[in-house]
Amino acid sequence: MKNFVEELRWRGMLAQMMPGTEEMLQKEMVSAYLGTDPTADSLHIGHLCGIMMLRHLQRCGHKPYLLVGGATGMIGDPSGKSQERNLLDAETLYHNQEAIKKQVSKFLDFDGNEPNKAEMVNNYDWMKDFTFLDFARLVGKHITVNYMMAKDSVKKRLSGEARDGLSFTEFTYQLLQGYDFLYLYDKFGVKLQLGGNDQWGNMTTGTELIRRTLSNEAEAYCLTCPLITKADGKKFGKTESGNIWLDRNRTTPYAFYQFWLNVSDDDAEKYIKIFTSLEKDVIDSLVEEHRQDPGRRTLQYRLAEEVTRMVHSQEDLDMAIAASNILFGKSTKENLLQLDEQTFADVFKDVPHYEVSKDVLGQPAVDVFNQEGMQIFPSKSEMRKLVKGGGVALNKEKLAAFDQPVTAEDLIDGKYLLVQKGKKNYSLIIVK
């Protein structure tokens, strides 16, 4: 059995753990769980470190449980938040849970016959019929208010760092999360909780509740991964346009691939250990190769390939690479036509955009590409010269003549014209 703690340690995925955790993991197959709130119908890359922990856990011979917080998701966790979360209805939570399971099944084996096959549980199943009086009597009496107030997540919200204070609903969150651990321990023998380091306070409430409720000798442990940041100290996984999602309808495989391709050298060296399953000797060799010639961006390319293939598919990776080559390499009109509209928009989002009326269709290219307000060519005569030298392309095909008519048949997705001046100078005309 591979040493799970050692695996996390060399990958930079270990923040802290309770004494005795590593010894327990070495002597038996351990059931461990990680919780995620189903506040959306997709995970984003901020969740990936936790999911990779479960993946490594299963590969080291232990049994992973993914807990979807259907009940706790209705409340919201105060850890690291300054505002209370919107409450979701049961139908939305169920939809989100099913979508998340589909995503996570690419990382974990839920269907095998092995004793350590992954399980998915939802705390709504055991909380929905739990009355407030029962909860107060069976759970609340074991944990003092003093103990709960000492947690950082509570102290920060009460110290004035957030003006809104802390509602009673959110204050009870750590008891609910603690009860999850108690329930899983009692029902399924789950002895270890995994999570991000900002969850340490809530997680240790669970071990405390288990010991006070069941026995001081009860073996229950916590282990956390560090919060992932970028080299500049900013939060990982956020871009100007928002989260990088695992769902292709929210973030296209092309945009997903580009995110990893564009990380810094320092981040690539860190992320390839955390977000791939590559072995240590392979990663060490890639790091060495990258340091010899950073300009080739060996780490970024391998990182982007591994993560895109794992989250999406080999086919999506191939398309993302082909889409990247449209801007930066040789490609054809056929490559353009293979892109779905969202990917097409992602590829060309940073090139100048111009809008024209569909009335221009049928007119010569020199007139269509030099409408008032366009800055594609300095003048019509300059465009004529460029066309003569083979320096202008429409939809990746060289323009044969400056007065070649632009027709509806030239439109990509029924509305786009891609004009290329020289090798890398693009403009996108949207015909409305």
Please say if 239 is a catalytic residue.
Answer: yes
Q: Do 72 and 160 belong together in one domain?
A: yes
Q: Do 179 and 73 belong together in one domain?
A: yes
For the chain, list residues with pLDDT below 50.
81-82, 84
Q: Which of 72, 174, 177, 251 is catalytic?
A: 177
Q: Which two tokens stand for residue 314?
A: 């080999």
Q: Do 207 and 303 belong together in one domain?
A: no
Name the β-bridge partners of 431. 356
Q: Is residue 363 part of a domain?
A: yes
Containing domain of residue 83, as a range?
Answer: 4-225
Element (H, E) at 24: helix 21-27
Q: Do 332 and 362 belong together in one domain?
A: no
Please say if 251 is a catalytic residue.
Answer: no
Q: Which of 102, 128, 235, 291 is catalytic?
A: 235
Name the β-bridge partners of 394. 397, 419
Contact 266, 310 (CB under 8 A): no
Q: Three-class SS of residue 203?
A: helix
Q: Do 337 and 398 belong together in one domain?
A: no
Q: Which of 142, 156, 230, 238 is catalytic?
A: 238
Q: Is residue 372 part of a domain?
A: yes
Contact 65, 188 (CB under 8 A): yes
- CA distances to 284, 313, 322, 345, 348 from 336, rounded to whole Å, are 37, 20, 9, 11, 11
Q: Is residue 212 part of a domain?
A: yes
Q: Mind giving me the DSSP string for 318-373?
A: HHHHHHHHHHHS---HHHHHTS-HHHHHHHTTTS-EEEE-GGGTTSBHHHHTT-TT
Please say if 85 is a catalytic residue.
Answer: yes
Q: Which two tokens stand for residue 376?
A: 């594609």
Which pLDDT does position 103 carry in this prediction?
A: 95
Phi and psi at residue 235, to the nearest 5°: -65, 135
Q: Do 39 and 126 belong together in one domain?
A: yes
Q: Do 22 and 101 belong together in one domain?
A: yes
Helices 280-292 and 298-311: crossing angle, nearest 10°? 140
pTM: 0.86
Task: Tell which residue, 263, 307, 264, 265, has the closest CA to residue 287.
Answer: 265
Phi and psi at residue 224, to the nearest 5°: -120, 155
Task: Tell which residue, 142, 144, 171, has the closest CA to residue 155.
Answer: 171
Spatial distance between the Cα atoms of 66 and 190, rounded to a whole number of angstroms? 11
Domain final residue pick, 312, 347, 382: 347
Q: Is residue 230 part of a domain?
A: no
Task: Tell which residue, 333, 334, 335, 298, has the closest CA to residue 318.
Answer: 335
Please say if 177 is a catalytic residue.
Answer: yes
Q: Do 37 and 181 belong together in one domain?
A: yes
Find the angle CA(430)-CA(431)-CA(432) to the nearest 5 degrees.
115
Looking at residue 376, which CATH number applies to its domain?
A: 3.10.290.10
Please say if 276 is a catalytic residue.
Answer: no
Q: Mind giving me the DSSP string for 131-146?
A: -HHHHHHHTGGGS-HH
DSSP 230: -
Please say if 330 is a catalytic residue.
Answer: no
Q: Is residue 231 part of a domain?
A: no
Q: Do 153 and 17 belong together in one domain?
A: yes
Which pLDDT does position 171 carry in this prediction?
A: 83
Please say if 235 is a catalytic residue.
Answer: yes
Q: Do 322 and 380 belong together in one domain?
A: no
Domain final residue pick, 347, 380, 406: 347
Q: Which of 59, 81, 250, 396 is catalytic?
A: 81
Chain segment 233-279, per-residue pLDDT in tens: 877 876 666 789 999 999 999 999 999 999 999 999 999 999 999 99
Positions at the binding site for ATP: 238
Q: Which of 92, 117, 198, 333 is catalytic?
A: 198
Name the β-bridge partners of 35. 67
Spatial distance between the Cα atoms of 134 and 306, rounded to a whole number of angstroms? 48
Please say if 169 is a catalytic residue.
Answer: no
Total count of domains within the chain: 3
Q: Which of 39, 92, 103, 342 is catalytic?
A: 39
Q: Is residue 29 part of a domain?
A: yes
Which pLDDT does position 154 carry in this prediction?
A: 82
Positions at the binding site: 33, 173, 177, 238
Find the angle CA(133)-CA(136)-CA(140) to the nearest 5 degrees.
175
Please say if 152 is a catalytic residue.
Answer: no
Q: Which of 85, 151, 270, 290 is catalytic?
A: 85
Positions at the binding site for L-tyrosine: 33, 173, 177
Task: Tell which residue, 180, 154, 181, 169, has the closest CA to residue 81.
Answer: 154
Q: Do 303 and 207 belong together in one domain?
A: no
Q: Is the dihedral of CA 363, 364, 370, 376 positive or negative?
A: positive
Helices 253-261 and 314-328: crossing angle, nearest 10°? 70
Percentages helix, strand, coil for the chain, rounded to the nearest 5? 50, 15, 40
Q: Do 211 and 65 belong together in one domain?
A: yes
Half-sphere exposure of 373 (CA within 13 A, CB side): 6
Domain final residue pick, 297, 328, 347: 347
Please say if 207 is a catalytic residue.
Answer: no
Element (H, E) at 101: helix 90-104
Q: Which of 16, 26, 83, 239 is catalytic?
A: 239
